[in-house]
């Protein structure tokens, strides 16, 4: 799954790719060997202890600033997402936003309708930020796909330090951006999206491989050769 996401970024000629591998040194070693000849820099980083996807993102940008450009696209590796990354980037640039989140209107997804979108394609409320009251008036509701583009400088200067403990992109960081009225939405409509981040969803994906296979991007032959070495 990590290779799948890296390969999608390579197809759009990303300036560099950073994989957060957590505490899995074996994954770091594998990626270094797998992409040793890549023309695009592939970096794998890990932090101990981990401080949530938000905390680790902030640390990555602060500690390895040379790996990042003015915009950073973040994609979960436990999802299969059919999205036009270049169109996503262009949309973000046109919105002059601190953050743009790709949402899906599919009904068969976790946290369905968690994001409330206004007439200006901005998120003005999210259930994932633990907000109690839910608004009555909104243009539409949709769900997160695990794909976000953020202003790198905004993340680097986010009001957080390691001693504050773990934080989440979808909770603490998103809440700040929504309050600033600067969370743009890229509507990915009903294009294919599947979250396989749980045991049940992974089992389902394995037994229904025909559903996800058309959307996967990886070199199966290379994988076989690699395993044979």
Q: How far apart are the first and last CA of the chain?
A: 21
- Give tens-digit pLDDT for 81-124: 999 999 999 999 999 999 999 999 999 888 889 999 999 999 99
Q: What is the mean pLDDT of the chain?
A: 89
Domain CATH code at residue 22: 3.90.550.10
Instruction: Give the confidence band of 209 by pLDDT, cuts at 50, 70, 90.
Output: confident
Residue 220: pLDDT above 80? no
- Give tens-digit pLDDT for 17-54: 999 987 788 888 999 999 999 999 999 998 889 999 99
Domain enclosing residue 51, as ranges: 2-228
To the nearest 10°, report the CA torsion of 143, 145, 149, 150. Answer: 60
| Chain CA centroid to CA 40, Å | 19
Domain count, the chain: 1
- Give tens-digit pLDDT for 139-156: 999 999 999 999 999 999
Residue 67: pLDDT above 70? yes
Q: Which residue, among 83, 90, 92, 99, has the nearest Cα to 194 in the 3D structure? A: 83
Predicted structure pTM score: 0.90
Can you read off the two tokens belonging to residue 29? 């070693």
DSSP three-state, residue 177: helix
Q: What percent of the chain has pLDDT over 90?
A: 65
Residue 221: predicted pLDDT? 45
């Amino acid at each position: 799954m990590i290779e799948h996401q890296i390969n999608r970024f390579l197809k759009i000629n990303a300036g560099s790719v950073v994989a957060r591998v957590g505490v899995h040194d074996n994954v770091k070693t594998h990626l270094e060997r797998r992409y040793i000849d890549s023309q695009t820099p592939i970096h794998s980083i890990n932090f101990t202890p981990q401080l949530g996807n938000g905390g680790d993102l902030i640390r990555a940008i602060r500690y390895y600033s040379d790996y990042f450009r003015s915009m950073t696209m973040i994609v979960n590796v436990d999802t299969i997402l059919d999205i036009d990354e270049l169109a996503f980037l262009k949309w973000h640039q046109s919105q002059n936003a601190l953050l743009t989140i790709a949402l899906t209107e599919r009904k068969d997804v976790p946290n369905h309708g968690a994001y409330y979108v206004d007439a200006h394609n901005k998120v003005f409320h999210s259930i994932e930020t633990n907000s109690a009251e839910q608004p009555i008036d909104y243009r539409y509701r949709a769900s997160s796909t695990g794909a976000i583009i953020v202003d790198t400088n905004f993340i680097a200067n986010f009001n957080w330090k390691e001693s504050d403990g773990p934080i989440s992109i979808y909770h603490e960081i998103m809440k700040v951006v929504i309050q600033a009225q600067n969370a743009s939405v890229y509507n990915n409509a009903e294009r294919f999206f599947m979250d396989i981040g749980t045991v049940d969803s992974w089992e389902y994906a394995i037994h229904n491989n025909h559903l996800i296979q058309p959307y996967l991007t990886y070199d199966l032959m290379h994988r076989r050769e690699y395993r044979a070495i």
